[in-house]
Structure 1
Amino acid sequence: MKHYKFFAMKKGIFQILFTILMGICGWHSKCYAQVDPHFSQYFIQPMALNPALTGAIEGDYRVSAVWRSQYGNTFSTKGISAEMPTSKNINLGVNLLNQSSADKAYNYTNAYLSIAYTGVRFKDHYVAMAMQAGMLNRSFNVNKLQFGEQWVSGIGYDPSAHSSEVFQKPNVFSFDAGAGLVYYDATADKKINLFGGFSAFHITQPKDPFISGGDKQSLPVRYSLHAGARIILSDLLNIVPNVLYMRQGETEEKMAGAYVQVNASEQVDLMFGANLRFQDAIAPFAGFYYKGFTVGMSYDTNVSTKDAMEMNRNSIEISLSYTWWRKNSMKTKPFYCPRF
C-alpha cells in the first residue's frame, strides 16, 4: 500500500467516537500494562487491532512483519501477516504473533484467519465488518523457572532444591475468536477525512490454566476503540492524528499521537511522528516508502513516574511491509485506506 495512509470518516462520527474514547479513558486514574502482546506500530499489524481492517489496502496483496524487543531484551515479540481484498466484497487475511522470553521459559503464540465483509456502502461511506478465528498456544518451560523454595539462605539459588509447585499442563492450545467493525468515508478530494472502529478479542473466553487459583479462569475479552483523521495540508504534506483505547479485564491502554507523511518524490514518501501512551511511554516513529516497500522504526521511552524497579521498560520496534498489484491489474480511483 503506497504510503502509510489512513481512511476517513464523517466529522460528526469522529466527534462521537472521540467523546466516547475520552469518557472511557476517564474511568480510571491509573494505567496498567496490556495482558495481550501488542505493538506500538499497531498499523503494521492492523488485524491484531481490528479484524475489520483486513484487506483495507491500496493494492492487491500486502505482507508485513514487525519485531519488538523490550524490558532490556528479556522479551521479544514478532508478528507476521498477509492479506488481500477480493472482488466479492470479501477480504481475507492471516495474522501470526509470537512473544517469548530470552531464556525461552515463556512462550505465547497465536494464529488467526480473518474474513471481512465490505459490501455495506452509502455512496462513498463504507462499513466493514469482520470475524477472526484461530488458535492460542501458551507454554512454560518448567525447567527454566525459579521458585522461592529453591533460594537457600547463605547459598542463593539451588536448582537441585525441591519445589512444591506443580504445573498440570505447561503447554496449552485453545480455540479463540474475535470480531470488529470499521466505518470510514472514502469521499475523494476532501481536506479532512475521518475514521473509527471498534473490536473485541477473546470473545470465546478461552480458559487460562496459568492464572492463579484452583480452577481455570477465562482469558478476559480485549476491547479496542480507535479513531483518527487524515488531514491534507498540501500536495506534499499530510498529517494523521489518531487516538486508541484498549481495555482487557482490569488493564487498559490509552494512546494518542500523530504522524506526518511527506511526499518526497513520485516513488518516495517519508513518515515521522510519535504516539504517547498515557502514564507509560512515548514512542517516536520514523519510516519511508519506496516502490511498494515501507520500512519503519519506533522506540518506546518510559515517561512513567513509577519507582525505579519499573523504569527499564524501553523497547524498540522495526517493521517492514510490501504491497503489490497483480500483473495487468487495473488501478481505479484513489482509495482512502483506513490505516497507514
Structure 2
Amino acid sequence: MKKILVPLLLIVCVSVHAQDPHFSQFFSSPLTLNPAYTGKFDGTFRVAGNYRNQWPTINNAFTTATASVDFALLQSRIPEFDTWGVGIMGLNDQSGNKILNNNFISISTAYHKALDENGYHTLTVGFQGTYANKRLDISKATFEDQLTSLGFTGVTSEVFNTRNVAVNYFDVNAGFLYSGSTNGYNNFYLGVSSYHISRPKESFQGGNYILNPRLTVHGGGYVPMGRITTFHGSFIHQRQAGATETVLGGAVAFSLSDDEALESNLYTGLWYRLGDAFIPYVGIEFSGLRLGYSYDINNSSLSTASNSRGGNEISLIFVRKPSDPSRRKLGCPKF
C-alpha cells in the first residue's frame, strides 16, 4: 500500500489540484497564515520556527519546516499604539520522500492602525512578496502507469524536459486583521488572507498551469477563567482549488508564576480538522519562549494506510519583551 501511495502523492503534488503546505499549529506560524500578522505581538522582535512530518508511515510523504523573524520600525515616529511591522520568512516543503522539493523566501510588511485612544482595537493591512523555487527529482520518481503485476517495472508515458524540472516564480500575498480587547486582559481577533494573488504559472512539463489562489479566514481569542487559568480558542477555514480545510479547537493555559509580567504557562488543548484528524496539543511558555507539540490522530479513510498517524509537529516562538517594566501590556492574538 505504501509503494502505491508514494507515486500517487507525487501525482497530487504536481497536478492542477496541488495544495499549499499547512500546519496543524497554524496559530504558531504567523507569517504563513496571514501577512497582516507581521509585527503583531507584544515585544521588540519575534522569532518563530515550525517543523511538521505528515503521514510518517507513508515513506515521508510530506515534511515541512519554516523559520521567520519580524519586528517593528519607527515606533517613535508614528502615532502611539500604531505599529509598522516588517518580517522575513523561509520555508522548505518536501513531498514523496524528497522527490519534490519546494523552497520559498518571503518578505512581508503590515501596518497596524489603532482605532481608539487606548490602543485596545486595531485594524491591520499586510502584504507579502515571495520568491519560490520548486525542483522535481525525476530519477526518484515513479508513476501510476509504471505499476505492473511485478511492481513498478513498466515505462511511464510522462514526458519531462530535463531543462524544465525546476520552476521559479515571484508571488504576492495580502491580508487583513482586526484585533480587539475590552479591558486589556482579553483579546479577540478575525482575519482574512489571500495567497497567490499574482496567479503565477507553475508547470514541470512546459504547460500553462496557473497556481490557484488560497483564501483563508481565521479567528479566535482568549479570556481569563480564573486567577491562574486562561482559555484560548481559535479556528481556520481555507479554500484552494476546490479543496477546503477547517480546523477549530482551543487550549487552557495554567499560570506557573504569580508574577504577571513573566508569562510562564503550561498549555494543554485539542483541535479538530473536520473529517480528518484530532490534534492534541501541549505547550510550555517561559521568558518569552513558547514551545508547542501536537500530534495528528487521523480518523479519515486514510487511517488504514497511515495507521491513524497523521503527523508530528513542533513549534517554537520567542518574543523579546521590552525592557521597561512599567509599560502597558498590549493585547495581541496568541492562538
Q: TM-score, normalised by structure 1?
A: 0.81
My pick for the range that moved more, 328-337 or 104-113, is: 328-337
Deviation, 1:251, is 0.6
My pick for the range that moved more, 245-254 or 72-81, is: 72-81
Task: Give the counterpart of 1:225 among 211, 214, 217.
Answer: 217
Is 1:93–2:93 an aligned residue pair?
Answer: no
Q: Distance in 2 between matches of 1:47 and 1:184?
A: 16
Q: Which residue pairs with 1:292 in the alignment?
A: 288
Q: Which residue pairs with 1:78 in the alignment?
A: 65
Q: Distance in 1 between matches of 2:152 and 2:255?
A: 57
Q: Which residue pairs with 1:256 in the alignment?
A: 248
Q: Which residue pairs with 1:109 in the alignment?
A: 103
Runs ≥4 in structure 1, deviation > 4 angstroms? 148-153, 309-313, 328-331
Task: Give the counterpart of 2:169 among 171, 174, 185.
Answer: 174
Distance 1:218 1:310, change over 3 A: farther
Q: Which residue pairs with 2:233 in the alignment?
A: 241
Is 1:136–2:123 an aligned residue pair?
Answer: no
Letter of the structure 1 residue corresponding to residue 54 of structure 2: Q
1:145-160 map, 5 Å: 145-148=141-144, 150-151=146-147, 155-158=150-153
1:43 aligns to what SS in structure 2?
A: helix
User: C-alpha offsets along residues 272-329 of structure 1, whole Å, 9 cap, x if unaligned?
Assistant: 1111110011111001012122111000001225673566551010122222146x55
Q: Which runs of 5+ in 2 are unaligned?
A: 1-16
User: C-alpha offsets along residues 218-261 of structure 1, whole Å, 9 cap, x if unaligned?
Assistant: 11110111111211112311101222111112110011101111
1:1-340 map, 5 Å: 35-72=19-56, 73-86=60-73, 87=75, 88=78, 89-101=83-95, 103-123=97-117, 124-148=120-144, 150-151=146-147, 155-158=150-153, 163-168=156-161, 169-189=164-184, 193-210=187-204, 215-265=207-257, 266=259, 267=262, 268-305=264-301, 308-309=304-305, 314-325=310-321, 328=323, 332-340=327-335
Deviation, 1:95, is 1.6
Q: Which runs of 5+ in 1 are unaligned?
A: 1-32
- Cα pair 2:221 2:333 within 8 Å, conserved: no
Deviation, 1:148, is 4.8
Distance 1:149 1:42, change over 3 A: closer
- Cα pair 1:94 1:114 within 8 Å, conserved: yes
Deviation, 1:205, is 0.5
Identity of aligned residues (%): 31
Q: Distance in 2 between matches of 1:34 and 1:157?
A: 24
Distance 1:176 1:259, change over 3 A: same
- Cα pair 1:34 1:251 within 8 Å, conserved: no
Deviation, 1:194, is 2.1
Q: Distance in 1 between matches of 2:321 and 2:224?
A: 25
Q: Which residue pairs with 2:10 in the alignment?
A: none
Q: Distance in 2 between matches of 1:119 and 1:54?
A: 13
Distance 1:136 1:118, change over 3 A: same
Count of matched residue positions in the alignment of Structure 1 and Structure 2 = 301
Letter of the structure 2 residue corresponding to residue 291 of structure 1: S
Q: Distance in 2 between matches of 1:331 and 1:48?
A: 33
Deviation, 1:59, is 1.1
Q: Distance in 1 between matches of 2:158 and 2:326?
A: 61
- Cα pair 1:131 1:178 within 8 Å, conserved: yes
Higher relative contact order (CA 8 A, sep 6+): 1
User: C-alpha offsets along residues 80-134 of structure 1, whole Å, 9 cap, x if unaligned?
Assistant: 1111123143101112211113632111121111100113523332101100001
Q: Distance in 1 between matches of 2:151 and 2:325?
A: 68
